[in-house]
Amino acid sequence: MTGGVAPTGSSPIGSTAAAVDLPAGVEWITDPGDPRLADYVSLTDVALRRRTEPERGLYVAESEKVIRRALAAGHRPRSFLMAARWLTDLADVVAQARVGGIPVYAGDHDVIETLTGFHLHRGALAAMQRPVLPPVGELLAGARRVLVLEDIVDHTNVGACFRSAAALGVDAVLVTPRCADPLYRRSVRVSMGTVFQVPWTRIEPWPRGGPEVLREQGFTVAAFALADDAVTLDALAADPPERLALVLGTEGDGLTRHTIAAADLAVRIPMAGGVDSLNVAAACAVALWALRPGGSAPGGAATV
């Protein structure tokens, strides 16, 4: 049974659409101003989306893989929007949406581009309900490695840190109040959907009070910074504490003075070649690998 046939010929914005047999329940869209598509408006306007997505309790998953990972994590879709050929690749998702009464919209690439602001190379989008974040204490219980992202502004860096966290044994990620949104479309995509896999939440307040909460829960708080009195990563990795919180700082200025002062120790990754620091996501991967639970120190202990 089909839900209809997409029109041939000119759409309202002058594109041509191939005749497509639409699966039941799929609606063919021709008007980028259709109010039912409000969740997808101006996806490239970072300032707008950063404000409106949390306000409206949604986030946008892009690409088949990311959509499937979001659904597998139990997140609830509000609607789907895709180019016609993805109706086949996502046939099972579309069928499931129909059962659950979730709208599925399909349309020409140029209608979707006018609506979203970009060409949908990855074929499919889903507007998802933003999950309720768990309390910090719930995530810390039983955790051995916790990653804290302090005020990271770049969504690519946030996504890359989550990918490393998932791959290198982190039990929980805490993001500070000013840290970029892990559920922003770009963070999700760069993380390869691992933002749905690694438990995370916002820690507030921060920095005042935050490191203390971690310490009260039995964590050694390690501030990754270029401080003069910092121990080397090799030294810490030679005998890492059982429960360790790794705190990484913002791209420009690094960690706040308060965070460094409140931490149990500062840790630096030794640099060569006249380079003063690594990109935060690179530093994150190096540190998490060296300090992975059950891992051994690469090359043994070095100087403090």
Ligand X SMILES: C[S@@+](CC[C@H](N)C(=O)[O-])C[C@H]1O[C@@H](n2cnc3c(N)ncnc32)[C@H](O)[C@@H]1O
Residues at the interface with ligand X (CB under 6 A):
224-226, 248-249, 251, 253-255, 268-269, 271, 277-280, 283
By beta-carbon distance, which residue lies closest to ligand X?
254
Cα separation, 125 vs 123, in Å, equals 7
Using CB atoms within 10 Å of the CB of residue 235, give its burial: 0 to 12 exposed, 13 to 18 middle, 19+ buried.
middle
Which of 133, 234, 122 has the alpha carbon at shortest distance from 186? Answer: 122
Q: How far is the CB of 171 from ligand X (least distance, A)?
A: 19
Q: Looking at beta carbons only, is 55 or 253 nearer to ligand X? A: 253
Q: Looking at beta carbons only, is 61 or 168 nearer to ligand X? A: 168
Cα separation, 257 vs 284, in Å, equals 19
Q: How far is the CB of 153 from ligand X (least distance, A)?
A: 11
Distances from the Cα of 19 to the Cαs of 8, 14, 28, 80, 112, in angstroms?
5, 15, 11, 20, 17
CB 201 within 8 A of CB 211: no
Which of 159, 147, 154 has the alpha carbon at shortest distance from 183? Answer: 159
Q: Which residues pair with 174 in a beta bridge?
A: 148, 201
Q: How far is the CB of 91 from ligand X (least distance, A)?
A: 44
Q: How far is the CB of 150 from ligand X (least distance, A)?
A: 7
Which of 140, 157, 302 has the alpha carbon at shortest distance from 221? Answer: 140
Give the pairing type, strands 265-268 and 124-129. unpaired
Q: How far is the CB of 179 from ligand X (least distance, A)?
A: 12
Q: How far is the CB of 167 from ligand X (least distance, A)?
A: 18
Give the pairing type, strands 58-62 and 124-129. antiparallel
Q: Looking at beta carbons only, is 34 or 251 nearer to ligand X? A: 251
Q: Looking at beta carbons only, is 42 or 277 nearer to ligand X? A: 277
Q: How far is the CB of 19 from ligand X (least distance, A)?
A: 53
Tokens describing residue 139: 């995530």
Q: Looking at beta carbons only, is 112 or 175 nearer to ligand X? A: 175
Tokens describing residue 146: 């916790």
* Angle (nearest 5°) at CA 32 between 29 and 36: 70
Q: Looking at beta carbons only, is 9 or 252 nearer to ligand X? A: 252
Q: Looking at beta carbons only, is 197 or 277 nearer to ligand X? A: 277
Q: Looking at beta carbons only, is 52 or 220 nearer to ligand X? A: 220
Cα separation, 12 vs 168, in Å, equals 50
